[in-house]
Amino acid sequence: MLRRELGSIDGVQQISLEDALSNQEVEVAYICTESSSHEDYIRQFLNAGKHVLVEYPMALSLAAAEDLWALAEQKGKVLHEEHIELLMEEFAFLKKEVVGKDLLKGSLLFTAGPLEEERFGFPSFSGISRLTWLVSLFGELSLVSATLEERKEDQYMKMTVCLETENKRPLTWIEEKGQGLKRNRYLSFHFKSGALENMPNVGINKNILLKDQNIFVQKLLGQFSEKELAAEKKRILHCLGLAEEIQKNCYSQK
């Protein structure tokens, strides 16, 4: 499923959703639509007996994600949530930089143009790739506080989230979106042994979509261990649970 009509590509005609669901020759569905529609499409394809690859986030609530995973297991199908941010050169650099170091504090700020929340979800969900970075680098996190500043007339929003590692080290995650803001990422991590301020140029991200699809294929072929699959599922559900908790916290401040 895509966000746009493709017509015919290299002589292959795009088919309808109904045809994709009913066609026994279609074994796998790739869902690349607005986040608000992910849950419904996943459910339809799993019930039709298809394996599913979906862009993050798979759903806009923890309960929905847990239900979808249970459905995939019931149907004996692979449900794979794409996480190309973990395949980026920047993340590989960070992973290497932080390993074995004792974090004191850190922050991650992401800026971009206006957010279409009705299509892509609350900022903690639409920006879940940044949260996934923090969890993948520093382990499971707990929420301390979260606030949301909005100026809808200017299409501006700023979400500020204070998190804490299991060792009680503070991490701040900020999503700031509005007219004129360029897509960029700013980070600052302080360790006992020194500091990492912002991201150096670490090269071009090559074929990360293809790399993620290869991971999906490996799952289809049974090349991932149960331990690896369980760890990935735990991380994804932890991030979705945090995103939901952040959303509720922000709404409670209004």
Active-site residues, by number, are 55-56, 82, 85, 129-130
The residues, any chain, with a CB within 8 Å of residue 183's CB and separated by 6 or more, are 111, 112, 113
How far, in Å, are 51, 72, 73, 169 from residue 77 at the CA level?
5, 5, 6, 39
For residue 199, give the nearest of 104, 106, 93, 122 by alpha carbon: 93
Distance, CA of 212 to CA of 82 (rounded, Å): 6
Distance, CA of 107 to CA of 84 (rounded, Å): 21
The residues, any chain, with a CB within 8 Å of residue 116's CB and separated by 6 or more, are none
- The three-class DSSP label of residue 37 is helix
What type of residue is 47? N
